[in-house]
C-alpha cells in the first residue's frame, strides 16, 4: 500500500503522494521516465498513477480502454513519454501517448495471454512478459512483433516481469522456477550480401570472407571485419546468404 524510496545516501522513506483522492492500493510495478516522473501500476485501484518529482499524483487516463479489475500488473515508459500498461485480465497492452491519446498495442500475428509485465529498452523496443504463453514478446519501433528466443531454457507458467539492461540483454522474472532468466541479445545483428565460397562480401565497412562452407550457421561478432571458418564440405555447392 506504499512506495518506499531509498535515496542515493541510503536513507529510506515512504513516498508521499499528494492530490490523489484514493490512496494507492497494492501497487504491482513501477517505471520512471526521463523527466523523473514515477509511474505506479496501482493494481488494487485498476489504474496507473503518475507522480511528479514534486510529489503530485495524477491518474493516467486510458480513454476508451478502461483497465480491468485486478489486471494492472505492469507499466513502462519510452523516451517519448508514451506509457505502456499491461492488463493481464484483458490480455492486452494499453498505450497512452504523451498527448494523452490511448490505444491498444498492435502485435500483428501474435496474441497475449496473461501479460504480467512490460519494459522498454534504450531503443524504445517494447518487451512483454507473456506469462500465459511462457514467453517474452518484443515489439520493435518498426511495429514488428516476435518471440524472444531463450536457448536451453524453458520459461515457467508465471512470468511476473521483464526488464532490459544498457547492453540490450533481457531479464525475465520466472516465478514458477524461482529464478531470473537472462537472454543475452547484446551481440550486433549483422546482415551480409549474397556471398560465394572464397569471396568477400561487399558490405563496407563490415565484410565477411567465407573460406569454407559446411552445415553450420554463420555467426559473427561485432568487429570491423569477419572471417568464417567451417569444416570442409566439398559436396556443398550452395552459396552463403
What DSSP state is assigned to residue 132?
G
Say yes or no to pLDDT of 137 above 50: yes
Distance CA 83, CA 48 (A): 9
How confident is residue 204, by pLDDT bands cut at 50, 70 and 90? very low
Percentage of the chain beyond pLDDT 70 is 76
What DSSP state is assigned to residue 70?
T
Distance CA 75, CA 84 (A): 5
Cis peptide before 205 (omega within 30 of 0): yes
Distance CA 231, CA 220 (A): 16
| Mean pLDDT within 100-125 | 96
How confident is residue 97, by pLDDT bands cut at 50, 70 and 90? very high
Q: Please tell me the predicted confidence (pLDDT) of residue 46.
A: 97
Burial 38-58 (b: 16+ CB within 10 A, else e): bbbbbbbbbbbbbbeeeeebe
Q: Please tell me the predicted confidence (pLDDT) of residue 175.
A: 92
Say yes or no to pLDDT of 95 above 80: yes
Percentage of the chain beyond pLDDT 90 is 68
Which range has the top average pLDDT, 105-109, 174-178, 199-203? 105-109
| Mean pLDDT within 119-126 | 96
Q: pLDDT tens digit string along 179-193? A: 999 888 644 333 445
The cell numbers describing 175, all together, are 516465478
Q: Please tell me the predicted confidence (pLDDT) of residue 153.
A: 83
Q: pLDDT tens digit string along 29-43? A: 999 999 999 999 999
How confident is residue 238, by pLDDT bands cut at 50, 70 and 90? very low
pTM of the shown model: 0.77
| Mean pLDDT within 59-87 | 97
Distance CA 154, CA 134 (A): 8
Distance CA 37, CA 25 (A): 19
Strands (E), 3-158: 4-6, 12-14, 27-32, 38-42, 47-51, 57-59, 72-77, 83-87, 92-96, 102-104, 115-120, 126-130, 135-139, 145-148
Specify whether the backbone of 176 is left (phi greater than 0), alpha (psi in -120 to 50) or beta: alpha
Average confidence score pLDDT of the chain: 83
Distance CA 69, CA 101 (A): 21
Distance CA 214, CA 231 (A): 6
Question: Which of the two residues, 116 and 219, has the higher pLDDT score?
Answer: 116
Strands (E), the chain: 4-6, 12-14, 27-32, 38-42, 47-51, 57-59, 72-77, 83-87, 92-96, 102-104, 115-120, 126-130, 135-139, 145-148, 159-164, 170-174, 179-183, 207-210, 225-228
Q: Please tell me the predicted confidence (pLDDT) of residue 162.
A: 95
Say yes or no to pLDDT of 19 above 80: yes
Amino acid at each position: 500500500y506504499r512506495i518506499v524510496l531509498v535515496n542515493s545516501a541510503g536513507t529510506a522513506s515512504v513516498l508521499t503522494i499528494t492530490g490523489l483522492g484514493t490512496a494507492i492500493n497494492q501497487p504491482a510495478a513501477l517505471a520512471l521516465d526521463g523527466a523523473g516522473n514515477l509511474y505506479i501500476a496501482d493494481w488494487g485501484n485498476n489504474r496507473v498513477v503518475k507522480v511528479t518529482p514534486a510529489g503530485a499524483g495524477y491518474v493516467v487516463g486510458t480513454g476508451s480502454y478502461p483497465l480491468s479489475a485486478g489486471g494492472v500488473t505492469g507499466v513502462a515508459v519510452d523516451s517519448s513519454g508514451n506509457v505502456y500498461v499491461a492488463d493481464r485480465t484483458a490480455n492486452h497492452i494499453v498505450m497512452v501517448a504523451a498527448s494523452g491519446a490511448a490505444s491498444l498495442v498492435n502485435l500483428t500475428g501474435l496474441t497475449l495471454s496473461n501479460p504480467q509485465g512490460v519494459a522498454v529498452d534504450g531503443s524504445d523496443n517494447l518487451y512483454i512478459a507473456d506469462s500465459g504463453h511462457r514467453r517474452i514478446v518484443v515489439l520493435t519501433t518498426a511495429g514488428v512483433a516476435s518471440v524472444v528466443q531463450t536457448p536451453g531454457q524453458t520459461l515457467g507458467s508465471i512470468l511476473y516481469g521483464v526488464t532490459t539492461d544498457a547492453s540490450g540483454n533481457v531479464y525475465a522474472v520466472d516465478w514458477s522456477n524461482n529464478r531470473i532468466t537472462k537472454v543475452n541479445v547484446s551481440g550486433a545483428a549483422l546482415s551480409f550480401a549474397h556471398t560465394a565460397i572464397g569471396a568477400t562480401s561487399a558490405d563496407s565497412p563490415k565484410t565477411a570472407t567465407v573460406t569454407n562452407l559446411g552445415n553450420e550457421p554463420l555467426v559473427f561478432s561485432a568487429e570491423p571485419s569477419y572471417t568464417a571458418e567451417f569444416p570442409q564440405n566439398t559436396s556443398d555447392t550452395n552459396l552463403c546468404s
